[in-house]
Structure 1
């Protein structure tokens, strides 16, 4: 009876943590979407809000890390349960870093607008990679919420598309800069934003990998051939 009671308490505490992680996920998802919109319309006030919201995300990271540490110490979870907690800690870290990347995008959008840069289709260049990465992040959070290993594998494949799109943007921007040196400053800002988006895709892929770790007990990081065989 004592063991059963302890197990139930552990489940409740872990579920409370997972709920807050999903709340954090929703926060950074909104941050990212708002940052992309700032880059599209050049709204300084909205950019400032995205950057300010990052403080709340950081505070939630600290709180959740502390909760996970206490859960491990108090409940001393067995192998499978410990795997879940450790994966959750890693997801929290990736979410915090997504918030950082969203802030970078907002900061760049603010700088471009304040400098009054015109004549360069910044948003058109990153529109496709922005939409694809936003969808990837949403799906990664959904896979984490439902512990869906099959969906997680699809997300990992989807990140390859994001990486390819980034390389295309890089080539195009280099061409712009070579053809018209006056575009160098704007092109570099746009490249900075594209790289931040590509990094968000990487973090979404990481979350998917942690889902597979929880569901299947396999650590597939840095094991591309194994993913392709699966």
Structure 2
């Protein structure tokens, strides 16, 4: 029984790591679609979200099966609980990636009808994507040092979202005809901020898994 449990838990860990890789790819492609105003790529990201959703359900069912069949305790129980939480977090990140892709379609359809002094997402995109990528490394290698580094970086993305909100507000007041552009940009900024937040959540789950410490209310 113990050997079967160990094998199933190892397979579950490998599956959640693979799911993380799929989600990271989806976010990177959504960001590329925004940068290139590539509607075709954006629509592919939106379509592929259904695959991630289906895998999220499968992983959850596997976690519940392990809990019911083996009734793990102590560190093994923490592992399954952490995987359940990370699984839900990854699905939410993928949903935000689909939202970004939807905004990319809107921007592509606007064509050149955008303000010359528009929003530059390049730094915010890089920071959020790096946080997500590093949170996947944290998950693969149980690296609590890197986990704390990711958590510390969240404030910079939060500030970028606040700065974007102010800039978009000024654009709307000066150029109200660009309301569609401004709304799309606000959505992208908000989704990038949420992706960074959830990358932080994943790191907090890994810290809990490795140390038993709950830190989410201590920041």
Q: TM-score with structure 2 length normalisation? A: 0.95
Structure-to-structure mapping, 1:70-89, within 5 angstroms: 70-89=65-84
Is it true that 1:144 corresponds to 2:139 in the alignment?
yes
Indicate the residue corresponding to 1:21 in structure 2. Answer: 16
Partner-residue secondary structure (3-state), 2:114: coil
Structure 1: gaps spanning 5 or more residues: 1-5, 225-230
Partner-residue secondary structure (3-state), 1:172: helix
The CA deviation at 1:49 is: 0.6
Question: For each residue in 1:55-97, what CA deviation from the matched residue of structure 2 results, as whole angstroms up to 9, or x when unmatched?
Answer: 0000000100011111111111112110110011000001001
Q: 1:20 to 1:62 in 2, by over 3 A?
A: same
Check conservation: 1:47, 1:109, Cα contact below 8 A: yes
Structure-to-structure mapping, 1:35-74, within 5 angstroms: 35-74=30-69
The CA deviation at 1:124 is: 5.4
RMSD, aligned α-carbons: 1.5
Question: For each residue in 1:155-192, what CA deviation from the matched residue of structure 2 results, as whole angstroms up to 9, or x when unmatched?
Answer: 11111111111111111111222222223321121011
Indicate the residue corresponding to 1:169 in structure 2. Answer: 164
Structure 2: gaps spanning 5 or more residues: none
The CA deviation at 1:15 is: 1.2
Indicate the residue corresponding to 2:175 in structure 1. Answer: 180
Distance 2:117 2:125 in 1: 12
Indicate the residue corresponding to 1:190 in structure 2. Answer: 185
Question: In the comparison of the two structures, how many residue pairs are matched?
Answer: 219
Distance 1:220 1:65 in 2: 24
Question: For each residue in 1:111-133, what CA deviation from the matched residue of structure 2 results, as whole angstroms up to 9, or x when unmatched?
Answer: 22224353336985211111101
Indicate the residue corresponding to 1:211 in structure 2. Answer: 206
Q: 1:219 to 1:121 in 2, by over 3 A?
A: farther
Question: For each residue in 1:14-71, what CA deviation from the matched residue of structure 2 results, as whole angstroms up to 9, or x when unmatched?
Answer: 1111111111111111111111111111222111110111000000001000111111
Partner-residue secondary structure (3-state), 1:125: coil
Is it true that 1:153 corresponds to 2:161 in the alignment?
no
Q: TM-score with structure 1 length normalisation? A: 0.90
Distance 2:109 2:122 in 1: 21
